[in-house]
Each structure stands twice: as structure tokens, then as C-alpha cells.
A and B are shown apart, each in its own frame.
Chain A
Amino acid sequence: MARAVSNQRKAINTAVAWIIALLIFFPILWTILTSFKTEAEAIADPPSFLFFNWTLDNYTTVQARSDYFGHFWNSVVISVGSTILGLIIAIPSAWAMAFVPGKQTKNVLMWMLSTKMLPPVGVLVPIYLIFRDVGLLDTRFGLVIVLMLINLPIIIWMLYSYFREIPGEILEAARMDGAGLRSEILYVLTPMAVPGIASTLLLNIILAWNEAFWTLTLTAANSAPLTAFIASYSSPEGLFYAKLSAASTMAIAPILIMGWFSQKQLVRGLTFGAVK
């Protein structure tokens, strides 16, 4: 039976939710506002919230000083590339774990998750040396590989929990209908899992887009994505808050817009399997 919730209770819940949401959003809002201030206003004490001289100078300076679109393109290639490569590997893996589990499947899944608990700096030296020796340093391909490997456990876990919700009988029906493994995955499983694959894709693009540790350590001029573009505004000569904010706003804007339009899909993907 549904619990009755009083109107007063609903109003309080809504207010609390708004306050939490604003608290979370405030730093982003502040960054965006700061990006329209002059450097002097950006560090003014007390800070001004809305009543300052709005200016687009920071954006023109940032665009003139560094190649935003070059970094943007690198971010797109690295995040989309690593996610698609990850999906190509993860779909058959998740299929195997969901539909023909072996005795060790659970352990393999846990082991994959455990790699996410390892601090990335722990494997920095070996990966750096390998990348140096095989000539992958400062290449987009190198970053695609490393980000794919880092996010692969999450991709497999998400797809695994999605696939587990698909009735096995439908795949058995495909087998009875004469489908081999390739046809079964291509014509039956993948189209049925499109919502799950889409939310996995979106979430991993966001994760890869925002990844800073590896993108900062393994790139220089050629393949640096937007994370490196932001970092370049924190220079030894001092912090330029307004320009840094403009760079940050330009870096997060594309992914924020994508996230906004796909939030329904994302939430569904993240909560899938929680309730049947």
C-alpha cells in the first residue's frame, strides 16, 4: 500500500531537495559568473554576485591565447573513442558473464571492480614507461587505450547488470531459430539492450571527458584535451581566476549540455535493476 504523504511533508522535501541541488550547483554557477568578471572583480572582497561589469574579455583572451577547438576535438576523440572501444570489448564480455556464468564469474567481476580501488598513481610509472617505449606518449590513441582500460570495469558492470534483466529465454529462442553467437548478440541482445548501452555510453563519455590524472600526465602539446587546457591557466606566474573560470566554463559546457539532454537516460541507466 502506498504511504500517504502530507502536503506539508512534500513541501519540506521539495525545499530540502532544492537547497541540496543549489549547494551542489553553486561552485559551477560561481565559476560561470566569475568567467564574466574582470580579474580585479574576480578576487574582490567582498565578492559581488550579480552586480559587476559583465565582460566577454576573458573568453576572447582564452580563445586568442590557446587553441580551444584543438583541445575540444582531442577531448571528443579521446572520450568517444575510449568509450566505443570499451563497448566493443565489454558487450561480448558482459554477455558471457550474464548468460553463461562460470564458477569464477562473480570473482572476476569483483576483481575488475577492485582495480578501481587502486590509486592510479600506483601504476603511473609502469604505464608511463610502457607508453614511452612504445611511442604512445602524447598521442590520442594512447589516451584512448588508457581511458578505455580505466573505465572498462564500469562499462562491463553496467552492461552486465543490464543484460541480467533480459530474459534468457529470448536468447534461447534466437538459438533455436538458428542464430549463431554473432547473430544472437548482433540482432537480438544488442537491440534489446539499446537503453542500457546508451546510458553506459553517455556515462563513460562523461567520465572520460572529465578524467584529468592520465590526460595531464601522458599528454603534452599534441593530444592534450580540455582538462589540460584548464590546467594550463594555473601557471607559476599566479592564478588568473577570471580566465581560469572562462576556460573551465568552455571545457565543461559541452558535456554539461550533453548531460542535461540525456539526464533521463542516465538516471535510468544508473538505477536499472534496482527495482524490477
Chain B
Amino acid sequence: MGQITLEKVTKSFGDVEVIPPLDLTIEDGEFCVFVGPSGCGKSTLLRLIAGLEDISSGAIKIDGSDASDVPPAKRGLAMVFQSYALYPHMSVRKNIAFPMKMAGVSQDEQNRRIESAAKALNLTDYLERRPGQLSGGQRQRVAIGRAIVREPAAFLFDEPLSNLDAALRVGMRLEISELHERLKTTMIYVTHDQVEAMTMADKIVVLRAGNIEQVGSPLDLYKHPRNLFVAGFIGSPKMNLIEGEAAARHDAKTIGIRPEHIEVTEAGEWQGRVGVAEHLGSDTFLHVHDTGLTDILTVRSTGEMGLRHGDCVSLSPRHDQIHRFDASGLRMA
């Protein structure tokens, strides 16, 4: 079991309140991602749940019982850190065994769990090595192995992939998702990368300045962003936000249209000139200038488009995909 409930949790450092009163429930078995820009309080929130920071007020409940004053060692949670935080003086085997040694697990059981975790994480050949002799990806696997063997109520991941190169990151993303499918244990995952959030989460919590901006499934956030911040943050490339006359025609202060919902057509509604064209093979990203709507309009077209810098284009937005926002930045029905 691993249901985690935050009730009116706040955190202040001196006079600075970094987490204003916040309520959130993470269901048992859920993969919940905290996402937001740097300094939004997502890591602080995770550390509050872990018990590495004390909450200033409110309550944190794990499976219904108040854990606010329980030390981290006794909360039954496992954490994977951004820097891996492996014990450099211990072999991989001893690193993985450490939480079990602390819990007083028998030697036979320790060996059994180590072998099983090492097999699942492709670490069998590296058990006798020190962390310094491993690559970044292997180190992160050891950190995950160390978390798995505890059989925790929930896993906490603090930006675990940000020290890895792009190719490894994709691989590890899949591994963590598969791990979740297999273990069905609650996972809370902190990242600033919205692609990680979208691909891994059952539930995304978008944070800004310690406030929850929106909670929902990835597609819910993509399709129905509650405000301009979420609209701009979720989705890659970013949603185009347009003000002025074009917005006024939709009775809104701001309208948003995602790059993939603008088509390059023969005689479209909007005209402009291609600035930078990014050819990815599978997709083409066009950054279009001089549309009279916004400085640069981003357009995503499937497949290769033979457009170059300076070419004139005609664009048609899909009207059923236009998001409308009022003067306070909130979504309009």
C-alpha cells in the first residue's frame, strides 16, 4: 500500500514561504509526476514527503496515518537522487544491500533480493565493482536497485535522469515505466522535463512558485490546460499564444494553438515568412515570422516539408483546437 495525502502542507525557510498551503492525494500504485520550472518547489515538496525537510504546518499521511513527524528512515519510502548518491566506498552489492542491512533482513534474503534486482536491472556482472567504475546509466540503475530491495510503500525520484545523456535518458525512462508496470508501487517523480512528465505519468502535478497550477492526466493537461502557464508549459514545441485582434475574434484576451494544430495550406487564414526551418525527418518545425499575430509562430508538420528560410507560407489553424483564455489567464469554456 502506498497512498500519500498532503493536507494543508506548508513550508517556509525563515520568512520566505516556498510552499503555500497545499492539498494533494497520490493514490496507491499511481505514477505521479511533479513538473514545473526551476525553483517552483517541486523538489522541496518531494523532500517534505521523504521527511528530509520538516513541514512548517499541515500534515503528511502515508496510508492514512500521520507521518509528519516520522523520521525519513521510518516512513517506508525509497528515494532515488539526481546525483545517484551511491556510497562510493561500497561495492554495488553492498550499496544495494545497505537498506536491508539497516532493516535487519537476513543474509539469505538479502542475497536473494540482490540477485533478483541485479538481474532485473542488468547489473549482475557489476556487483563487485565500486560506483566509481560504472557509467552514469549503470550508477542510476544501482540507485534504483537500492530502492527496489527495500520493497517500499512508494518510490520517490528526484530528477533521476537529468545527469544522463539524451539517448540514455530515453532508455532509462522506459525502464522506470516498465518497473512501475511490474511493481505497481506508488511512484512520485520530480522533473522539469515535460516530455518525461507526459510519457511516464498517470497523473501530472504542475507547480509554479509552490502552488499547484493543475492536476490531471497527461492528455487532460494537454487538451484542457487550466490556465496560460499550464498551456505554455505542457507540450513540445510550446503552444502558440496569440493576443490582440485574432484573439478578440474568439471573444478572448488570449488564444492558444498548438504547433501541431496549424496546417500549411494553399490559401490559409494566416500568411507569413519562414524564419528557421528544423527538418527532423519525421517532422518539420517551422518558425514563421511576419504573421502579424505574434513574434514567431511555431508550426509542426508531419513528414518532411521542402520549405526553406525566407519562403512565404500560408497557414490554417484548426478552429476546434483553439484554446481561449480570459484577462486573468484562466481557461474559458
Contact = CB atoms under 8 A, between A and B. Distances in A.
Interface of A: 167, 169-170, 172-180, 183, 187-188, 191-192, 194
B72 A175 contact: yes
Interface of B: 50-52, 71-74, 77-79, 81-83, 85-89, 98-99, 102-103, 146, 150
A191 B77 CA distance: 25
Nearest to B76: A178
Nearest to A177: B99
A176 B79 contact: yes
Contacts of A174: 87, 98
Nearest to A176: B79
Given A167-B83, A175-B52, A177-B102, A192 B146 contact: no
A191 B89 contact: yes
B102 A179 contact: yes
Contacts of B77: 176
Nearest to A169: B85
Nearest to A178: B102
A172 B77 CA distance: 13
Contacts of A192: 87-89
A177 B82 CA distance: 16
Which secondary structure dominates where chain A touches chain B?
Answer: helix
A172 B83 CA distance: 12
Nearest to B72: A175
Contacts of B79: 172-173, 176
Which of A170, A176, A178, A187 has the most chain B CB atoms closer than 10 A to its own CB? Answer: A176
Contacts of B82: 169
Contact of A187 (B71, B86, B98): B98
Given A172-B52, A173-B79, A187-B98, A178 B103 contact: yes
A188 B87 contact: yes
Contacts of B74: 178
Contacts of B78: 176-177
Nearest to A173: B85
A169 B83 contact: yes
Given A176-B72, A177-B73, A178-B103, 20 more contacts: A170-B85, A170-B87, A172-B79, A172-B85, A173-B79, A173-B87, A174-B87, A175-B73, A176-B50, A176-B77, A176-B79, A177-B99, A177-B150, A178-B74, A178-B102, A178-B150, A179-B73, A183-B102, A188-B87, A192-B88
Contacts of B52: 172, 175-176
A173 B150 contact: no
A173 B102 contact: no
Contacts of A170: 85-88
B87 A178 contact: no
Given A178-B99, A179-B102, A192-B89, A169 B71 contact: no
B152 to A, nearest CB: 9
Contacts of B81: 169, 172-173
B228 to A, nearest CB: 35
Nearest to A179: B102
Contacts of A172: 52, 72, 79, 81, 85
A5 to B, nearest CB: 32
B38 to A, nearest CB: 18
A194 B74 CA distance: 29
A172 B43 CA distance: 14
B47 to A, nearest CB: 8
A181 to B, nearest CB: 10
A192 B86 CA distance: 11
A174 B82 CA distance: 15
A227 to B, nearest CB: 38
B73 A176 contact: yes
A195 to B, nearest CB: 11
Closest 7 pairs between A and B when the two form their complex, measured CB to CB: A178-B102, A173-B85, A177-B99, A169-B85, A176-B79, A191-B89, A178-B73
Contact of B71 (A173, A175, A177): A175
B25 to A, nearest CB: 22
A180 B87 CA distance: 16
A26 to B, nearest CB: 42
Nearest to A166: B88
Nearest to B88: A192
Contacts of B146: 173, 177
Contacts of A175: 51-52, 71-73
A180 B73 contact: yes
| Residue in B73, B89, B103 whose Cβ sees the most chain A Cβ within 10 Å | B73
B155 to A, nearest CB: 11
A31 to B, nearest CB: 42
